[in-house]
């Protein structure tokens, strides 16, 4: 009888929003995880509290820009794969301070790729054959769509419009180059807008939930009609694992939730759920306030996931209706986590971008 041996995955950014959800899924599935996270404002060890003492989870605080640290982790833990989720990801912050995004998303990815290549070349036989480097990216690298344009496919030309998306586009190109030039067995996934548990509340959905809970204004950029494809984070993490296991080396896979909605409709849906779960003296939608649009705000993103469905049989489990309800319920049930992350620097950031009183 063949004994199944747990694999070891080096996950970068594994204390962030998507990263922590991915790590929790992988530990539950029986994998070993070496978790490297810089613990910036959006990285939170509290996201991983339930596995804090789990023998299959090793947490290391540090940056993917630290080549020596990455090298030592690869040499000492001998992972079967690397999943790169480390990224600065908030567009507004990239507009205010693009340099951090260049260093983390571009320079950091380069150093992670280079050290992974050096490590890969030390492997032999089945270990080398099985090794994968999976890079998690975004739909924002493709640019903006018109209302009637077809959804992004994996071959859509890159047209990034913000410092954030430009830095991610550059990192995607580096991953491709390391595959074609050096033979590193890479995979890239480009996802649509994620939402769900552990998302730092500067992003639209958790910000709206928490402001509605406290009776604060709900700031919506511009006319609120910018469209995104919304993907529940648990579905995204399952897709990443599937691509890691069964994806074809050198390929890119789009991951989306089949849930195109404009921002105003998203906020209204949250208000309706809050009216049901936390009724106030007036409908929560009365708190909506339109604020000055962000510079260069892309009008629409949409993802064609036919390749992922056709090749790997993936489908999202959650509709937007089921996913957003689960998300609202999670934030309402986890006030301790919320209080821990929404203090200090975060409050100053929200006030500077949306005005005082928004959180």
264's enclosing H/E stretch is helix 263-277
| Distance between start and end Cα atoms, the chain | 58
**Which residues partner with 102 through β-bridges?**
none
Q: Which residues contact 151 (CB under 8 A, 6 or more apart)?
A: 145, 229, 256, 302, 303, 304
Q: Which of 164, 195, 232, 331 is catalytic?
A: 164
Q: Which residues contact 6 (CB under 8 A, 6 or more apart)?
A: 30, 31, 32, 56
Q: Which of 80, 139, 229, 238 is catalytic?
A: 139
Contact call for residues 101 and 40 (beta carbons, < 8 A): no
Burial tier of 340 (Cβ tally within 10 Å: 0-12, 13-18, 19+): exposed
Cα–Cα distance between 145 and 182 in angstroms, integer? 34
The torsion angles phi and psi of 99, rounded to 5 degrees, stand at -60, -40
Transcribe 7-37 into DSSP letters: PEEEEETTTSHHHHHHHHHHHHTT-EEEEEE
SS3 222: coil
The tokens for 222 are 């511009």
Q: What angle do CA 141, 191, 256 make, to 5 degrees?
A: 125
Contact call for residues 247 and 298 (beta carbons, < 8 A): no
3-state secondary structure 278-329: CCCCCCHHHHEEEECCCCCCCCECCECCHHHHHHHCCCCCCCHHHHHHHHHH
SS3 152: strand
- Told to judge if 164 belongs to the known catalytic residues of this protein, a careful annotator would answer yes
- Told to judge if 139 belongs to the known catalytic residues of this protein, a careful annotator would answer yes
Q: Which of 31, 92, 115, 140 is catalytic?
A: 140
Query: Could you give the residue numbers annotated as active site?
Result: 139-140, 164
């Amino acid at each position: 009888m063949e004994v199944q041996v747990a694999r070891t995955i080096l996950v970068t950014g594994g204390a962030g929003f998507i990263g922590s959800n991915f790590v929790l899924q992988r530990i539950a599935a029986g994998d070993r995880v070496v978790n490297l996270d810089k613990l910036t404002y959006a990285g939170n060890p509290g996201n991983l509290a339930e596995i804090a003492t789990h023998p299959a989870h090793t947490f290391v605080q540090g940056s993917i820009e630290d080549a020596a640290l990455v090298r030592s982790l690869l040499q000492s833990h001998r992972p079967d794969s690397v999943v790169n989720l480390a990224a600065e990801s908030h567009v507004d912050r990239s507009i205010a301070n693009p340099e951090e995004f260049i260093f983390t998303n571009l320079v950091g990815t380069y150093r992670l790729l280079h050290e992974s290549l050096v490590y890969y070349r030390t492997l032999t036989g089945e270990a080398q054959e099985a090794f994968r480097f999976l890079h998690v990216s975004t739909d924002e690298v493709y640019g903006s769509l018109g209302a009637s344009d077809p959804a992004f496919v994996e071959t859509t030309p890159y047209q990034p419009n913000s410092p954030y998306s430009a830095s991610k586009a550059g990192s995607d190109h580096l991953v491709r180059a390391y595959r074609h030039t050096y033979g590193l067995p890479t995979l890239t996934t480009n996802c649509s807008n994620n939402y769900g548990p552990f998302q730092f509340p500067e992003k639209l959905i958790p910000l709206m939930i928490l402001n509605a809970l406290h009776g604060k204004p709900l700031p919506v950029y511009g006319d609120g009609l910018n469209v995104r494809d919304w993907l529940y984070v648990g579905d995204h993490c399952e897709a990443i694992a599937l691509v890691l296991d069964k994806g074809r080396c050198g390929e890119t896979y789009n991951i989306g939730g089949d849930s195109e909605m404009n921002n105003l409709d998203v906020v209204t849906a949250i208000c309706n759920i809050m009216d049901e779960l936390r009724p106030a003296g007036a409908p929560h939608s009365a708190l909506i306030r339109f604020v000055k649009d962000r510079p260069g705000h892309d009008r629409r993103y949409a993802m064609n996931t036919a390749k992922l469905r056709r090749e790997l049989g993936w489908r999202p489990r959650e509709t937007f209706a089921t996913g957003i309800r689960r998300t609202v319920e999670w934030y309402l049930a986890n006030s301790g986590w919320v209080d821990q992350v929404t203090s200090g620097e975060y409050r100053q950031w929200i006030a500077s971008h949306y005005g005082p009183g928004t959180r």
